[in-house]
Copies of this chain bind each other. A is one copy, B any other.
């Protein structure tokens, strides 16, 4: 990040017509945008959300409340403009890009084999990297993939411990039997691949999915281009956990948009060093939480860029 731009933004916040600090995290968001854009007064003209979609072999084990066909059906829904992320991206003033990743070729069932081989994994990471235009002012990732809360839980359990019970939730809404199948699947995945824990990328390939790998690649691209980035929910956060395990500041350009209603997310966010902006029980994915958080970024910028200073407004400053 650009510390000079951040310092200039912080100095501006101190003289705007409000008690110092009284806009709370809106002030932090303005300074964060300034730091990563390298502008004391940042802008939000080019705002973009990339949604990656993938299919999962593990879905065949009955871990989701929805059939695997729904991944492609929802991609069609995105194209038609009928999904939540279409409406929220529009509300947030963000362009939406949807990248389906080999939907007719699900990953392998990770209880039997690595979800992806090295070539498949790198292709997905590259697809994510390539989806990020270098001149964005703010970026977010989202995902769609029936079965991917199971992949996210397996990744978290492998890299952070605590067993399946800590990381498996109801996802899109499985019943008790489905929940039990999810836990069994995660435990079986850990038994097969857990020994690779010293290599977070190998874990990502073995237990993750194409859309998770793509979100990792997109996060690297945003960092490379110094684009401030909002992480969406549980799956997006799990997707970048391998990066955080390899480099403690890998997510310095990221903010957590929200804490998902999916319970594992609350445990995952501290492991990423992130404090969520919103906690309103969203658990849809698609980048929807990130899109709502973009509204907070717009609110933050509107104050930062548009408020009068004490001297401009002739308002007396703090006296004690």
Contact = CB atoms under 8 A, between A and B. Distances in A.
Contact of A306 (B18, B87, B303): B87
Nearest to A90: B302
A133 interface: no
Nearest to A172: B19
B65 A19 contact: yes
A261 B91 CA distance: 27
A17 B299 contact: no
A296 interface: yes
A173 B67 contact: no
A298 interface: yes
Interface in A239-295: 261, 277-284, 288, 291-292, 295
B302 A88 contact: yes
Given A65-B320, A70-B316, A22 B283 contact: yes
A295 B299 contact: yes
Contact of A314 (B73, B86, B277): B73
A122 interface: no
Interface of A: 16-26, 62, 65-67, 69-70, 73-74, 76-77, 80, 82-84, 86-88, 90-92, 171-175, 177-178, 261, 277-284, 288, 291-292, 295-296, 298-299, 302-303, 306-308, 312-320
Given A82-B307, A292-B295, 9 more contacts: A21-B173, A22-B282, A22-B283, A24-B261, A66-B319, A70-B315, A87-B306, A88-B302, A92-B299
